[in-house]
Amino acid sequence: MPELPEVQTIRNQLRSYLPLTIERIKRSPELKQNILHTKIPKNIVGATLKRIKSHGKLMIFDLGDLYLLSHLGMSGSWIISKEKLKDKHLHLQLDCGKYFLSYVDPRRFGHMYFVDKKGKDEYLKRLGVDISSEAFTDDYVWECLQKGANREIKPFLLDQKYFAGSGNYIANEVCIRAGLIPDRICKTLKIEDAKKIKQAFHSVLEGSLKNNGVTFSGGYRDAFGEAGKGVQNLVVFHQENCGLCGTKVRKVMLKGRGTFYCPLCQS
């Protein structure tokens, strides 16, 4: 958390406030220690935030010749407000005159980089196709499955080099909707399974985006500080019973991540 639906929710909410010109900045001591991996450019003050894009879990703030790349980690969020935000987990606040744009991250697992266009493009090369984009096709999923031939499907769906934007709850939900047991080896899958996986991603994203993301206890908040209501669309992730058949959900650990599945619906 946050995964693609949460990132896109924040992105979409912030877009309606653009453009924003940065007049002052405030930062916490923890920002440089834990989150920011580059220096804050001197020309940040006076720069105008023109556009906000995203790729997978990465938010891309376009400041003209400068870009701020922001990965929200497990608990990060960008919050827009008319007044200065008073939050003990505030790490960066951009004073933009009428509005304040603030980065809040209780667990401090987020990452930020100020880069030029070359730096942005190089960073994006590390990521696979965005799972919400038109380029995320049946054929693309099939190609990925062949590259991850000996890997277990659920952990593989977390790999950002192939599935940019996927995360733990999405991967769990894709497996149940595609009817695949989480530890199924990719090379045993067929082209029909790739099509099911692609459709399952679409289904999960659609439900989460309609509800402004998914919030678990003490987790993600949108750009207005509100919780997402997408948990109501989850079928197995942190559910007691399967949302498709009612069978008791089982939990195992795969590659260190909690993994939920239905022993009846998945094989």
What was the pLDDT predicted at 145?
98
CB distance 170 to 203 below 8 Å: no
What is the reported pTM?
0.95
| Whether 29 is catalytic | no
Q: Supply 5's token pair.
A: 């639906």
Q: Which fold has domain 129-261?
A: Helicase, Ruva Protein; domain 3 (1.10.8)
Query: Max alpha carbon distance in the chain (Å)?
Result: 58
CA 199, distance to chain mean position in Å, is: 19
For the chain, domain boundaries: 4-124, 129-261
CATH of the domain spanning 4-124: 3.20.190.10
| Whether 196 is catalytic | no
Mean pLDDT of 155-168: 98
Asked if 4-124 and 129-261 have one fold, the answer is no
Identify the CA nearest to 73 among candidates 61, 63, 58: 58
* Whole-angstrom distance, CA of residue 123 vs CA of residue 98: 32
pLDDT > 70 fraction of the chain, expressed in percent and rounded: 100
* Residue with the two structure tokens 């989460």: 208
| Whether 3 is catalytic | yes
What was the pLDDT predicted at 47?
97
Q: Model confidence over 28-87: pLDDT tens digits?
A: 999 989 999 999 999 999 999 999 999 999 999 999 999 999 999 999 999 999 999 989
| Whether 182 is catalytic | no
Instruction: Select which of 5, 6, 57, 173 is catalytic.
Output: 57
